[in-house]
Structure 1
Amino acid sequence: MSIWVIIPISLPVFTITGIWVVYAMALYNQHVCPVDNWLYNQSCEEKLSLQRGPELCCTLDNVPLISKCGTLPPESCFFSLICSTGSFMVILIGLLRYAHVIEKHQNCVLNTAGLSTGWICAAGLIMVGNFQAIISL
């Protein structure tokens, strides 16, 4: 068995774990509300970062979306690292798959389309990870 088998397995393990770590960092820094808080209010007196105690008044701006969790520092740095590393792994997995298929079936249009589609997705992931924008509704 080849050691290259570890790369496709480690991609989802690494990225899913990393996204949960980013969420935990954003929750610890009170940049987002907990997932189990389903009561969002439009009129809270204080910002989330100024509130203390077990009961937090959350607005729709504090919904724990992936992009919201990775917007503010310090979790934005870790989010960017996860996205960049994940996109590199997608590029590597796509290239290894392309080489494997081309070895078995010579030149195939679907194989080339799969490689280019994977690299386009990886480029999009790099853009998401490195150019986070704070969007207020």
Structure 2
Amino acid sequence: MSVWMILPVSLPVFTITGIWVVYAMALYNQHVCPVHNWLYNESCEEQLPSQRGPELCCTLDNIPLISKCGTLPPESCFFSLICSTGAFLVMLVTLLRYAHVIEKHQNCVLNMASLSTGWICAAGLAMVGNFQVIEHL
């Protein structure tokens, strides 16, 4: 068994676990509301970080989207790390797949297209992770 077989499996395991850790950090720092709070109110008097207690008044700005969870520090640093590492792993997996197909078969346009698409997706993931935008209203 080759060690390279672990790489495609480690990509989703690492990134999914990392995204849940980012969500947990954002929830702990009260930058987003919990997923189970489906009653978002538009008329909260206090900002989310200054609220205390088990019941939080959440607005539509505090919905726990992936981009919202990774916007503010300290979770933004970990989100950037997860996205950059995931982008590197995507590039490595697509390169290994490209080389494997060339070794087994002749090089074809579809194989080159899959390599290009994988690297474009990796570049997009790196940009999402490293350029977080905070919306100010």
TM range (shorter): over 0.9
Aligned equivalent of 2:66: 66
Q: The residue matched to 2:86 in structure 1 has which SS? A: helix
- State the match for 1:134 in structure 2: 134
**Is contact 1:69–1:75 with CA below 8 Å preserved after alignment?**
yes
How much does 1:108 deviate?
0.6
SS in 1 for 2:32: coil
CA distance in 2: counterparts of 1:58 and 1:128, whole angstroms: 25
Aligned to 2:76: 76
Unaligned stretches of 5+ residues in structure 2: none
Q: How many pairs were matched up? A: 137
Structure 1 residues 77-110: Cα deviation after superposition (integer angstroms, max 9, x where no partner): 0000000000000000000000000011121100
> Cα distance, 1:136 vs. partner?
4.3
Query: Given the alignment of the two structures, is residue 115 of structure 1 paired with residue 92 of structure 2, yes or no?
Result: no
| TM-score, normalisation: structure 1 | 0.98
Q: Give RMSD over aligned pairs.
A: 0.7
Q: Map 1:45-56 to 2 at 5 A.
A: 45-56=45-56
- TM-score normalised by L of structure 2: 0.98
Equivalent position of 2:125 in the other structure: 125
